[in-house]
Every structure is written in C-alpha cells, then in structure tokens.
Amino acid sequence: MALSEFQIPPDAQHYLVCGTEDCEKNCQFYCNDCHQPMCEQCRDEHKKNKETKNHEVAHYKQRKRQIPVEKCRIHPTKDIDLLCEECQVPLCSKCTATNEHRGHVFTDLEMVFAEKVLQYQEEIDKIRNYFEPISQDVKNEIAGDVTEIKKIMATIKSFMTAEAEAVKRVVDAVTLDNIEQINKIERSLLDTLNAQNQIIDDYIKYLNDLIKMFFGYLSPSSIENLTLSLQSKCLVIRPVPETSKPVPPVFSSGQYSKEDVAKLLGRITIPKTKPENRKIKPMEIAATQLKPTRKQRKLDREKSGVKQRLSLSSSVTKVREYTVPGVDSVCHASLGKSGRLWVSDDNGNLVQTDLQGNQLQKIQTSGRDDGYHTITQDGDLIYTDQENKVINRITQDNTITKIIKTGGWKPLSIHSSHINGDILVGMNKRMKGKVTRYNKTGTEIQNIPRSNKGQTLYSAVPCYITENINGDVCVSDYKHAVVVVDKSGQHRFSYTRQRSTFEPYGICTDVLGHILVCDTYNDTVNILDKDGQFLSLLLTPQQDVKYPCSLCVDYENNLLVGQCETNTVKVYKYLQ
C-alpha cells in the first residue's frame, strides 16, 4: 500500500468556507494578519477597508500558519509570540527585558513557524513526488525479481528432470545391451551343452548295441554265431567321449557413489558473485521521469496497439538501402534502441553505424559468418570471442569486459533476450552443438543439448539464434534446419523445407511472433508462424535478393536484410 493511500495531507478538506460572518462562499484566500480564511469578494472588501488594507492576504495554500495561543508562564498576562535566536526558546515580549535574555536577538515566532511550515511542506512534496514513487518502483522491481527467480527455478527443475530422464534412458539402454549380451552368452553355452548331450546320447546307443551283440555271443543260436564269437580276438570298447564343464560369465557390479551420480545429473551451485545494489534514480532525474508527459502517454498507447493493428502484407516494398563502410559483407546485424546498427562480416570486422550508413565505431574480433553479437536491454553490445572461448560486453562508454567463460565450448551465436535479459548462446565442441542460457550476470542457468526424447537437437554449428515473443528459442542450424524449443528447453518443432538445399543463416522474429529466416542457397527469406507453419517466401531473387545472410526488424517493424557478398543493407516493409 502506498503512503498516499492512508496518509491524508494536513491541509486536506472537502470544502473550505469563508470565515467572514454570514458568508458561506468557497474560501480561496487567507489573511495572514487576521488569520482568517475568505472568499474572493471578502478579500476585495478586506483590502478596501482602511483598518485592514495593509494586511498580508495570500492564497490559502500559501498562508502563514497560526501559532497556538499560549500564555507565558512567567508573565501570565502575555502571549508567547517571540523566539530568542540565541537560546532558541519561545517567550513573550516582557521576557525580552529580563537579565537572562538581555542583549539577545528576537524573531517573530509566527514568522519562524511560517518558514518551518514551508520547509516541512517541501519535505512532504519530496516524499510524495520522489521517495514514495521510487520506493514503489523498488517494490515492483522486487516483485519482478520474484517472478524471474520462480521462472529460473522452474527452468532449472525442468532441466534437472530432463537430465535425470536422459541418464535414465542411458541406464536403460546400457542395461538392455548387457541383457542382450548375457542372452547371447547363455545361448552359446546351452548350444555347447546340448551338443555334448547329443554326443553322450550317441555313445549310450553305441553301448546298448554292444550289449545286444555280446548277449548274442552268450547264447549262440547257430554254429555261425558261435564261429563269430570264437573268431573275436579281443573285446575293445570305445572310451566315454570327453566333455567339458561350461564356464559361466561373472557379473562385476558397478563401482559408483552418490558423488558419481551427482556428476552425471549435474549439481546446484550458488555463484560467488556479489549481489548488485538496486539502482536508485537521482532525484533530479526522477523528477522528469516519474510523471509521463501527454506525448509519452500517447506514444505508449500507440506502442501497445501496434500488435493489434499490424498484419502480414500481401506485398513487400523496399523502403531504402544504404552501404555500410568498413565491412566486406553483412553477415550479421544487431540493432540498438538508439537506432544504431552493429554489422559484422566474415573477416571479423565489427562496425557500428547510424541508419544512414555513417561509420561510428569499428573493432576487430575473431568472429566469422555467424550471429555472434547482440544488443542488451541496456543498450550494451555483447559479442563472442571464439578463439578464447569467452563472451565480452561493450558498454556505451566503450568499456570492454569479459562476462562469461564457456570452457571447452566455442561460442558461435548469441542473443540477448528482450523478455528478461537472459543471454542465449549457441556453441559447439568436437562436432557437437548445444544452446546454453545465462542470466544477466553471466551465471549459467540452462543447457539445451538434447530433445525431450533424448535425441541430439543441434549439429556442430548452431550458427544463428534468436528468441520469439512467447519465449521460444529459435536456432538456425547448419544441418539444414531451423530448430525451435520452448523456454524450458523442450523441442517444439524443426523446420527443414527442402532439406537437401535449405541453408538457414540469419534469423529473427517480429512483434507478431513470425519467424523469419534466410535461405542463402536459394536466395530467399522464409517466413513461418510461431508454430513452424510455412507462410510464404517473403523475399526472392525477384526482390533483388542474393545470398541473404542476416536479418533484423527495426522499431518501425521494417525488415533489414544483409547479404553475403555485398556491404549493402536493404530495408523492406512487409507488415501493414
């Protein structure tokens, strides 16, 4: 609750009545000598009266407050109406002659009170016009931080669940592999034992046949059988066939600890970063910002209505074009709130221009033909240093600081969220790709390497990245696809068009949630809705587009297109 909701100003009244007898008109003025409120007519008569014409009459709000009437304790017949400036005590006129105050300087107590009233009124105005609104702003910022923390925690929880599911899938896959392996070993051992069993069966049959033959010799049925038994020189029985006992496999249980599992699933760490103090606007700046002007309110209303009024136009019109000095091509462009554009080419040149193409600043980077720079909500430039695997920030006073180290991952593409200020980075390492989300201070809060089904989302080159108005993360991937996940990292869809020839590069979104992406191979710009439905080829070679490489939408909702083999930026109107 704001202070103004329960603190009533001391001079607040529903209706001020003129103090003149029998006059009930509205009070507007005040006689500081008579301490009487009066209407305009009574004020005029008061000024005409010979006895009161020299009285000081002011507007009611500028009146001098009447001091309480109080008798002096030492001189009961006198009112206290003076202030001893040396002793700083109120007293009556007779007290001035006492030895205690002789030679001191005295001031009219009512005048001193009037000065103090003005000071207090100024302090009240400061509280109402500065301290209270600023406090409410801090309260709102805290509420925003609460919402952001909840979002971050929800994202971390979602990612932790996804990681656990991924590990579970890996465990299931390893278990299935082990079971399949043990099944093969079991079949092999059983086949060997069955073969041995068959050998023994054959041997037993052989023995039975011998027994029958020998019994025939014992009771010869004819002279011929007797002759055969007499002719048999020796009895030779084949030995029992050799067989071997099977050697079963041995299962070695896994050696793991809680710490090992924690390494697999990731861990929660609290950054050692010192919390930043909230910025409090100085009073002189806040005074001009607390109450929006009529023009500002009109602009805010117009801005809020833009989305409802705009729609996709049936035709595309080129508005203008301009040349960017200092670069060989326009591989990526980032537009700041000031209307200034940062443009990079495939040789690491990064140039800042105004919208007329005048060069304002130039730096050399290790970037190539990727979307490796972006503008933050505060207007700072953030860009990746691929060679050193860090991310740098250039503030508006041209101070360069390293804000993120990406370890063994090479940062290729980057985007600063216009929703919450998060930093999205597309990275690769050993022919693998992923997207990592950092907060404003550079703390890692999310990794998006796989889909919710455990499949790899990105190839080794997530080369351009942006965010849609609904929080979806949209990536131009070198494996001929636009890959889109929601803000929790769950895969929503992949857009491939004609996969064999689709070559996505620059990507951006607009106020309507459209996804716009360059197809460099086919010299076109594709436009999709937020759910990945193809809408049209927004730009084709017929609009004088060749090797489109970079896209961004300006604050007039025009599309800026940069091309690989020229340093010309072309501006198109495509919404109406």
In a domain, 263, yes or no: no
> How far apart are the C-alpha atoms of 569 and 345, rounded to whole Å?
12
Name the residue with higher pLDDT: 338 or 370: 370
What contacts 424, CB < 8 A, 6 or more positions away? Answer: 414, 415, 416, 417, 435, 436, 437, 465, 467, 473
In a domain, 55, yes or no: yes
pLDDT, residue 457, reads 87
Question: Which of 54, 69, 97 is the C-terminal boundary of a domain?
Answer: 97
Structure-block tokens of residue 465: 């990245």
What backbone phi and psi angles, to 5 degrees, belong to 309? -85, -30
pLDDT, residue 219, reads 67
Length of the chain: 576
In a domain, 195, yes or no: yes
Structure-block tokens of residue 93: 């006129």
Kindly tell me if the per-residue pLDDT of 27 is higher than 80: yes
Q: How many C-beta atoms lie closer than 10 Å to residue 109's C-beta?
A: 18
In a domain, 139, yes or no: yes
- Helices 132-218 and 223-231 pack at an angle, to 10 degrees, of 110
Residue 60 CA, distance from chain mean position? 53
21: buried, middle or exposed (CB in 10 Å: 19+, 13-18, 0-12)? exposed
Cβ proximity of 571 and 523 under 8 Å: no
Helices and strands, number each (H, E), in the chain? 8, 30
Residues 40-61 have pLDDT tens digits of 899 998 989 888 988 988 888 7
Domain shared by 81 and 145, yes or no: no
- Give the DSSP letter of residue 435: E
pLDDT, residue 9, reads 43
SS3 readout for 46-77: HHHCCCCCCCCEEEHHHCCCCCCCCECCCCCC
In a domain, 569, yes or no: yes
> How far apart are the C-alpha atoms of 315 and 536, rounded to whole Å?
11
Domain shared by 504 and 558, yes or no: yes
Domain shared by 368 and 434, yes or no: yes
In a domain, 276, yes or no: no
What contacts 170, CB < 8 A, 6 or more positions away? Answer: none
In a domain, 4, yes or no: no
Domain shared by 39 and 144, yes or no: no
Domain shared by 84 and 120, yes or no: no
Name the residue with higher pLDDT: 275 or 436: 436
Residues 181-230 have pLDDT tens digits of 999 999 999 999 999 999 999 999 999 988 887 777 676 666 776 676 66
Cβ proximity of 31 and 38 under 8 Å: yes
pLDDT, residue 468, reads 94
pLDDT, residue 126, reads 85
Cβ proximity of 207 and 200 under 8 Å: no
- Strand-by-strand arrangement of the 548-553 sheet: 312-323, 568-575, 558-563, 548-553
> How far apart are the C-alpha atoms of 67 and 117, rounded to whole Å?
11
Kindly tell me if the per-residue pLDDT of 232 is higher than 70: no
Residues 496-519 have pLDDT tens digits of 877 678 899 999 999 999 999 999
Kindly tell me if the per-residue pLDDT of 141 is higher than 60: yes
Host H or E run for residue 4: none
Question: Which of 49, 66, 97 is the C-terminal boundary of a domain?
Answer: 97
Domain shared by 70 and 177, yes or no: no
Q: What residue numbers bound the domain in which 183 lies?
A: 115-247
Cβ proximity of 357 and 570 under 8 Å: no
Domain shared by 503 and 361, yes or no: yes
pLDDT, residue 293, reads 46
pTM of the model: 0.51
Residues 422-467 have pLDDT tens digits of 999 999 988 889 999 998 888 888 888 776 666 788 887 899 999 9
Segment 232-249 mean pLDDT: 83
The percent of residues in the chain predicted with pLDDT above 90, rounded, is 40
Lowest mean pLDDT segment, chosen from 92-96, 260-264, 327-331, 569-573: 260-264
Beta strands in 70-128 (DSSP E): 82-84, 89-91, 106-108
Name the residue with higher pLDDT: 308 or 242: 242
Query: What are 509's strand-pairing partners?
Result: 515
For the chain, the average pLDDT equals 84
CATH number at residue 311: 2.120.10.30
Domain shared by 120 and 91, yes or no: no
Structure-block tokens of residue 423: 């930093």
In a domain, 107, yes or no: no
pLDDT, residue 307, reads 54
Cβ proximity of 536 and 304 under 8 Å: no
Q: How many C-beta atoms lie closer than 10 Å to residue 424's C-beta?
A: 23
Question: Which of 247, 274, 303 is the C-terminal boundary of a domain?
Answer: 247
Name the residue with higher pLDDT: 114 or 8: 114
pLDDT, residue 15, reads 54
Domain count within the chain: 3
> How far apart are the C-alpha atoms of 375 and 339, rounded to whole Å?
11
Domain shared by 51 and 123, yes or no: no
Cβ proximity of 511 and 480 under 8 Å: no
174: buried, middle or exposed (CB in 10 Å: 19+, 13-18, 0-12)? exposed
pLDDT, residue 483, reads 93
Query: What are 263's strand-pairing partners?
Result: none
Domain shared by 409 and 463, yes or no: yes
Kindly tell me if the per-residue pLDDT of 14 is higher than 60: no
pLDDT, residue 116, reads 83
Kindly tell me if the per-residue pLDDT of 297 is higher than 80: no
SS3 readout for 499-523: CCCCCEEEEEECCCCCEEEEECCCC
Domain shared by 448 and 483, yes or no: yes
The percent of residues in the chain predicted with pLDDT above 70, rounded, is 89
pLDDT confidence bin for 558, thresholds 50/70/90: very high
Domain shared by 93 and 128, yes or no: no
Segment 336-363 mean pLDDT: 88
What contacts 59, CB < 8 A, 6 or more positions away? Answer: 28, 29, 30
